[in-house]
Amino acid sequence: MTMKVKTNFVFAEESPDFLEPVGALYDDTTDQKYIESIEDYFSEKEGGDRRPLTTLELGCAGGRIVKDLVERGHDSYGLEGAPYPLFMARPAWLEYYNTRIFNCDISKPFKLLEDDGTLKTFDVISHWEFLEHLSPSCLDYFHARLWTHLKPDGSIFCGVSPWGRSLNRDRIDEGSPLKTHAMDNIHHQSCFWEDEWEKLYWNQYFNVHEYPLEGKLRKDWNEELNLGSYYIHLTRKNDDKQHKLANETITKYEKKYENKMGHKKEDLMVGYEAFRLGFKN
């Protein structure tokens, strides 16, 4: 199986994560228990044996999770808005660049297609401490596009951090160290409590469930910083209402970007080629 990415915006050039990268440089997370938990979840839900799943990892950084899923027989893909894992010659990128792992700014118009031009849909879409990195201006579009790419009986598994400068610090008690930590993370642009995400975005397209898996791609609490994330399971609402809303939202948002384009991929590939030659030597 293959996938094509249709976009005029290959790199997330406006994101703090592109300008001052952290995760794209250092994150190459995977977890076998998480992968096995996904396999078990679908086999139990469907009442059968484990089967190959079609999966998408958003903000995949080093891409190791994609590689591990493929090696277990799944049709798996990853999207990343920064070129740095490729510059660093991460193994998954060297093996799967532009076949299973792609650069794409998903805060801008994009579409994922099968070889025949039909929409690519997934059993599983996952993103781990990624959603808060997006600008609030793209969140309606992002969730509408996510809805179109999730199979009617598919699942979204995600971990979301509420901490960052956009968090309303008045809701944190005076004297709490979280007041300081909440302001330290400049990369988090969209910071809400779980019930706010649900009310503002998730309820429009998805049913919200308790996280059902044993495995996770992130620890749910950072002991050093005394900060944590919450973990969510979303399933798709399949009414005409969601179909209409998604189409309207996508059409309106993409119209703003007609005849616009990010920097060409080749502009940054010069730097990659120099790195690659040095790496081989």
The full set of domains in the chain, from first to last, is 4-280 (3.40.50.150)
Q: What integer is the mean pLDDT of 154-158? A: 97
Q: How confident is the model at residue 263 (pLDDT cuts 50, 70, 90)?
A: low
Nearest to 55 by CA among 103, 125, 128: 125
Is the CB of residue 128 less than 8 Å from the CB of residue 159? yes
Question: Closest Cα to residue 86, out of 264, 280, 269, 278?
Answer: 269
pLDDT class of 170 with cuts at 50, 70, 90: low
Q: Which of the listed ranges 87-96, 154-163, 266-275 does the model predict with the highest average pLDDT?
A: 87-96
Is the pLDDT reported for residue 179 higher than 60? Answer: no
How many angstroms separate the CA atoms of 98 and 37, rounded? Answer: 28
| Residue in 91, 161, 108, 97 with CA at minimum distance from that of residue 131 | 161
How is residue 36 written in tokens? 């096995």
Does the structure show a pLDDT above 50 at 26?
A: yes
What's the confidence (pLDDT) of residue 259?
Answer: 84
